[in-house]
């Protein structure tokens, strides 16, 4: 466990780790492409290491030197392999589509948390392209058998970048054209990176069309992950002033800024630029008095991973906030509606679960206490932020899961968090 003190002021300039979604894709797509690519500022968290491990098992060559990776794609994939995806939903879902596209016979599996998450959401749309994907009662292990793929139209009922990407990766090898639509646009890193690698892909609002293509390796300079920066941005809003450098601000990922606008958080974007097809900026956030907000379904995908933190900010705001249309949170690394509500209550706040979200009665301050991570990295980091901003601090139980997306989170905080 980690003992976390409360602080009066939290300020500083921070370089955050590379974007998890972009790193996964840079490793996987280059691992299946012609040529060699260099990926810089890659996130070396456990989830992305799972993607490295799986791509190596399939035959890709990956050299790791700090946060720089050299990836050489393989023209011939190993078959009949068992791919351990660890805790990573992105690895298992994208690789299922990748394996179906490349005609690879594979078993994909993971840890207890991953094994409890729904996999029919990828198996079913892939089967519409003719893929042979079997789940285990809707869960991992997932088994892929080679089959001929034929392009199809797939209308997803939920907005999911993981499912969309799986279909696009299969569509890359299918005869004819594949069209994927989703109700609200989810993160589009796959579309951007595949286009940069030479794929025949076209985007029209929430519809993406892809045709059979060969990918050419592309170097990727990974921006800092806004989902990781969000913890430091929030500490700026609660306790002082923070500047997060070189953060990815792809518009499908900036829901946290929408939440800040509504909460009344003062922030500015500086030094905006484009790096490797993704916009980045330095984000300055200043201490702000926050008021209650309402968030609904159309706003959720762009802040899906930040919602536990947004709910926490609502607990520090004035008035009653309501977040709905977020049922997807129930099938993340933990049931994040339940675990976030418990976290806020354990800090002394007032949060009621809805089937698809939360009602949070903001108290402007929280007492602190003991919170559990439930072995979910985002809950652990949200808990730490809540304790730092609380009146008396407290303890995070089972904090090591931060390593999934942010291995040096507690060091970067720079506060005297004690390991017990
Ligand atoms: C991700 C997509 C999101 C997100 C996850 C990463 C991705 O999941 O929650 O952390 O890299 O594609 P869904 O696509 O299932 O919403």
Pocket lining: 234 vs ligand 1, CB cutoff 6 Å: no
- CATH number for the domain that contains residue 346: 3.65.10.10
Domain co-membership, 255 together with 389: yes
Range of the domain at 307: 2-17+228-419
Predicted pLDDT of residue 126: 98
Domain co-membership, 179 together with 293: no
Predicted pLDDT of residue 415: 77
What's the CA-to-centroid distance between 54 and ligand 1, angstroms? 18
What's the CA-to-centroid distance between 370 and ligand 1, angstroms? 29
Cα 111 to Cα 312: distance, rounded to the nearest angstrom = 28
Predicted pLDDT of residue 379: 98
Question: Across the chain, what does the average pLDDT equal?
Answer: 97
Domain limit, last residue, from 221, 253, 287: 221
Pocket lining: 51 vs ligand 1, CB cutoff 6 Å: no
- What single DSSP character describes residue 133? E
Q: What is the mean pLDDT of residues 359-387?
A: 98
Are 98 and 32 in contact by the 8 Å Cβ rule? The answer is yes
Which residue is listed with tokens 């959720």? Answer: 300
Does an H or E element contain 258, and which? Answer: helix 255-263
What's the CA-to-centroid distance between 301 and ligand 1, angstroms? 9
Quote the percentage of the chain above a pLDDT of 70. 99
Quote the percentage of the chain above a pLDDT of 90. 97
Domain co-membership, 216 together with 261: no
Neighbours of 328 (CB within 10 A): 18
Cα 123 to Cα 297: distance, rounded to the nearest angstrom = 25
Say yes or no to pLDDT of 314 above 70. yes
The confidence band for 77, taking pLDDT boundaries of 50, 70 and 90, is very high
* pLDDT, tens digit (0-9, with 9 covering 90-100), for 285-301: 999 999 999 999 999 99
**Token representation of residue 215:** 């990918």
**Token representation of residue 86:** 């660890």
Q: What is the mean pLDDT of residues 224-231?
A: 98
**Token representation of residue 191:** 């579309």
Cα 32 to Cα 379: distance, rounded to the nearest angstrom = 33
* pLDDT, tens digit (0-9, with 9 covering 90-100), for 147-181: 999 999 999 999 999 999 999 999 999 999 999 99
- Residue partners of 170: CB distance under 8 A and separation at least 6: 97, 98, 100, 101, 126, 129, 131, 149, 178
What's the CA-to-centroid distance between 53 and ligand 1, angstroms? 20
Scored b (16 or more CB within 10 A) or e, 264-288 reads ebebeeeeeeeebbbbbbbbbbebb
Residue nearest to atom 10 of ligand 1 (CA): 305
Are 135 and 120 in contact by the 8 Å Cβ rule? The answer is yes
Cα 327 to Cα 332: distance, rounded to the nearest angstrom = 10
Domain co-membership, 399 together with 383: yes
**Token representation of residue 97:** 């589509």
Q: What is the mean pLDDT of residues 208-231?
A: 98
Q: What is the mean pLDDT of residues 189-200?
A: 97
Predicted pLDDT of residue 144: 98
Domain limit, last residue, from 165, 196, 221: 221
Domain count of the chain? 2
Domain co-membership, 285 together with 140: no
Cα 71 to Cα 58: distance, rounded to the nearest angstrom = 13
Pocket lining: 209 vs ligand 1, CB cutoff 6 Å: no
Domain co-membership, 201 together with 343: no
Domain co-membership, 80 together with 142: yes
Are 275 and 219 in contact by the 8 Å Cβ rule? The answer is no
- Residue partners of 68: CB distance under 8 A and separation at least 6: 38, 39, 40, 42
Say yes or no to pLDDT of 74 above 60. yes
Domain limit, last residue, from 169, 202, 221: 221
Residue 19 falls in the annotated catalytic set: no
Domain co-membership, 53 together with 117: yes
- Kindly tell me the burial class for residue 65, based on how many C-beta atoms sit within 10 Å of its own C-beta (0-12, 13-18, 19 or more): exposed
| For ligand 1, mutation pick of 19, 26, 90, 325 (most atoms within 8 Å of CB) | 90
Predicted pLDDT of residue 416: 64
Nearest to 282 by CA among 2, 14, 61: 14
Say yes or no to pLDDT of 263 above 90. yes
Q: What is the mean pLDDT of residues 328-332?
A: 98
Cα separations in angstroms, 55 against 48, 108, 171:
11, 12, 19
Domain co-membership, 43 together with 172: yes
Predicted pLDDT of residue 419: 61
Nearest to 188 by CA among 218, 208, 167, 211: 208
**Token representation of residue 357:** 């979200």
Residue nearest to atom 13 of ligand 1 (CA): 160
Cα 352 to Cα 411: distance, rounded to the nearest angstrom = 32
Catalytic residue among 19, 282, 305, 372: 305
Residue nearest to atom 11 of ligand 1 (CA): 21
Predicted pLDDT of residue 213: 98
Any idea what the Cα angle at residue 142 is, between residues 138 and 148, rounded to 5°? 110
Predicted pLDDT of residue 332: 98
Say yes or no to pLDDT of 420 above 90. no
Pocket lining: 404 vs ligand 1, CB cutoff 6 Å: no
Say yes or no to pLDDT of 103 above 90. yes
Residue nearest to atom 4 of ligand 1 (CA): 305
Domain co-membership, 205 together with 257: no
Domain co-membership, 57 together with 34: yes
Domain co-membership, 279 together with 185: no
Kindly report the backbone phi and psi dihedral angles of residue 44, in degrees, each rounded to the nearest multiple of 5, phi listed first: -105, 45
What's the CA-to-centroid distance between 159 and ligand 1, angstroms? 10
Chain-centroid distance, C-alpha 364: 29
Cα 116 to Cα 114: distance, rounded to the nearest angstrom = 5
Any idea what the Cα angle at residue 226 is, between residues 389 and 115, rounded to 5°? 90
Q: Which atom of ligand 1 is nearest the CA belonging to 161?
A: 14
Say yes or no to pLDDT of 21 above 70. yes
Say yes or no to pLDDT of 417 above 60. no
């Amino acid at each position: 466990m980690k003992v976390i003190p409360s602080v009066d002021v939290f300020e500083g300039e921070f370089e955050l780790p590379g974007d998890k979604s972009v790193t996964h894709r840079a490793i996987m797509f280059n691992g299946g492409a012609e040529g060699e690519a260099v990926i810089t500022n890659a996130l070396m968290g456990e989830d992305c290491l799972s993607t490295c491990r799986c791509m190596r098992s399939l035959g890709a060559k990956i050299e790791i030197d700090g946060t720089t990776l050299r990836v050489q794609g393989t023209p011939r994939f190993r078959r009949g392999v068992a791919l351990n995806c660890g805790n990573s939903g992105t690895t298992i879902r994208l690789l299922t589509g990748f394996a179906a596209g490349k005609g690879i016979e594979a078993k994909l599996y993971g840890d207890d948390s991953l094994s409890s998450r729904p996999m029919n959401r990828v198996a079913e749309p892939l089967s519409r392209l003719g893929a042979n994907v079997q789940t285990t009662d809707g869960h991992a292990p997932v088994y892929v058998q080679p089959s001929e793929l034929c392009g199809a139209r797939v209308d997803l009922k939920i907005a999911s970048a993981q499912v969309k990407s799986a279909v696009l990766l299969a569509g890359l090898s299918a005869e004819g054209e594949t069209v994927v639509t989703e109700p609200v646009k989810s993160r589009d890193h796959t579309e951007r990176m595949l286009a940069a690698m030479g794929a025949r892909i076209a985007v029209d609002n929430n519809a993406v069309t892809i045709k059979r293509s060969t990918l050419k390796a592309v170097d990727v300079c990974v921006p800092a992950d806004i989902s990781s920066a969000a913890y430091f941005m929030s500490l700026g809003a609660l306790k002082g002033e923070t500047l997060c450098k070189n953060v990815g601000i792809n518009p499908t990922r900036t829901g946290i800024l929408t939440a800040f606008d509504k909460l009344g958080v003062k922030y500015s974007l500086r030094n905006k630029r484009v790096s490797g097809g993704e916009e980045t900026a330095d984000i300055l956030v200043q201490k702000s008095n926050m008021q209650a907000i309402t968030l609904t379904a159309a706003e959720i995908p762009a802040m899906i991973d930040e919602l536990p933190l947004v709910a926490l900010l609502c607990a520090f705001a004035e008035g009653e906030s309501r977040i709905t249309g977020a049922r997807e949170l129930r099938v993340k690394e933990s049931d994040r509606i339940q675990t976030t509500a418990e976290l806020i209550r354990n800090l002394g706040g007032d949060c009621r679960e809805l089937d698809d979200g939360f009602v949070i009665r903001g108290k402007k301050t929280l007492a602190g206490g003991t919170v559990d991570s439930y072995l979910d990295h985002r809950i652990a980091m949200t808990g730490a932020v809540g304790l730092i901003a609380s009146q008396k601090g407290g303890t995070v139980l089972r904090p090591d899961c931060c390593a999934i997306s942010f291995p040096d989170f507690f060091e970067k905080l720079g506060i005297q968090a004690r390991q017990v």
